[in-house]
Structure 1
């Protein structure tokens, strides 16, 4: 399975990051960058990828990347223009009907959309370093005191998610370096990785898990014993 197919990747938590689980009319974002990140992340969760049309200064459109046929999927974002003191939108010197009062001036909001893909849509997900670091298989591979080599990470991601990152070393390297920096800044990051280990364990037989991860489990047990001695 290539790095551009979803396989058994874990969906991103859009509600926590953006406040919304899926695109809907009138939801808004402070910047175009944030809006685009939301649309791409939603596509990732759906096992698809999207591209942005050139558009205009106040109008941008994301389309499905399917090449088999014209897929109707799209999300359009518009930027709310300056409003008068009475709440009417100003457009080329004219006052427009009051609307979208909940959207701040210059914010980007979803104005149109169609989230239905065509029957023969062949768009596939595009893995990025941002999405890669969210996968349990990757998190389980990046543990202090253990090898964080490219080979270990690539093998872990392929074993647990069916995604082959071997031909994207630069992407994997960026993800590894990003996680290493987080570990330096936040010493509690290792403890937050425990759920990732449990998810990985559930996906494999007990024999395979103990064979591959016995050293890691031993380290945790040893740490617990030392803490007990100190307390």
Structure 2
């Protein structure tokens, strides 16, 4: 499996993700500059965390118009896999690949902490490494991570089983404690917590590694 990690001006978690995919899991990994227009060699696109374009206008709003994003949209529409982490989640909502939006945290403060999350379902490649209902711990670090949508969209997300991760102690005011969602097809995931920061046992927690391992186990053999 080949991973492609987007790099925008202001990205700062791209190398953390590459450490997981390339060094811990031994998978082919390519850093993709935001001006590239050919990602046909990539199986899984990762839109990493950081502060793309300095978060000007609003988080993810400018990155959405980078040349590479049309390729990411096409990649997703073909049923290929895309994950957006933190700022990457914000970019995916701005691009229309995921419903809803990420707004300022309820207390208007930047939050950097560990958060307990419930795995809502495990029948998708993203959560194959977990058990349904399992509570895991992942780091969070964001100032605009409060998931928001209108009532009808929220109802659809819940009815369709698109919530994959839910906060156990809501840190930011997200509606319905939502920490991570997927699209209807299940091939696009956005999440505010950072699985790549909980992937090395030397750091005391490897709950995030299982997200990548499950994806490899379910999908790696067929791409």
Measured against the shorter chain, the TM-score band is: under 0.3
Greater C-alpha Rg: 1
Higher helix share: 1
Taking structure 1 as the reference length, what is the TM-score of the superposition? 0.24
Taking structure 2 as the reference length, what is the TM-score of the superposition? 0.25
Higher strand share: 2
